[in-house]
Amino acid sequence: MTHETPLILPSLLAADWSRIGAEVGRAESAGARWLHLDVMDGAFVDNISFGPQMVRTVRGLTGMYLDVHLMIHRADHYLERFLQAGADNITIHAEARYETSVAETLRRIRAAGRHCGLALHPDTPFEAALPFIAEIDLLLVMTVVPGFGGQPFMEKETMPKLAQARDHRAAHGLSYHLEVDGGIYAHTAPVAKAHGANLFVCGTSFFGPADAGAAMAELAGSVA
């Protein structure tokens, strides 16, 4: 898949965890190819979600590509657990604390044969990604403040940065995906696409409706 291919990623954070197997199956049946898993530690963000055991559980339920977003401090300390759990891509935050460094953590992900991503908080400028930009497979531009689902899309604060990342990629012959996460609906996804996004993380907009197939069709159609 190239960085020009649009893809809808259901976000497990918005699923009904009391029936996780059915929810994963609902996403797969709706046509999802990637599944987004938000890991929160209660320190880097003001919420706690789940850890490597949930990733391992989901890995046992599906062959979908697992896009694991570590909203945690010390991602390097916990990295091996997420690799062993079956993550296909691991995205870490530029703003988090590390026992080693962002660069070393990205290197370890790639050395394990997985894809690696870097995430930027809405307040973090694109320039923070530049030291690592040639080494990543994915740049995640958060379009809400990370930590909770259901927040409104921060267009003015984040779209210029997304366009900057797109233009830098083109100018330097790079091929990283551009992912957006937060407030992504059928009316906001096209805005993000126009600024360069090709991966659209959809939580409430996908798992909220009873008909996941219809939700996927509407979301995918908005960025086709």
Tens-place pLDDT, residues 17-70: 999 999 999 999 999 999 999 999 999 999 999 999 999 999 999 999 999 999
Q: Which residues are catalytic?
A: 38, 181
Burial of residue 19 (CB within 10 Å: 0-12, 13-18, 19+) is exposed
The stretch 108-119 carries a mean pLDDT of: 98
Q: Is the pLDDT of residue 209 over 90?
A: yes
pTM to 2 decimal places: 0.97
Are 80 and 55 in contact, with CB atoms under 8 Å apart?
A: no
Give, for 116, the enclosing helix (H) or strand (E): strand 115-120
Domains of the chain: 7-222 (3.20.20.70)
Q: What is the pLDDT of residue 210?
A: 95
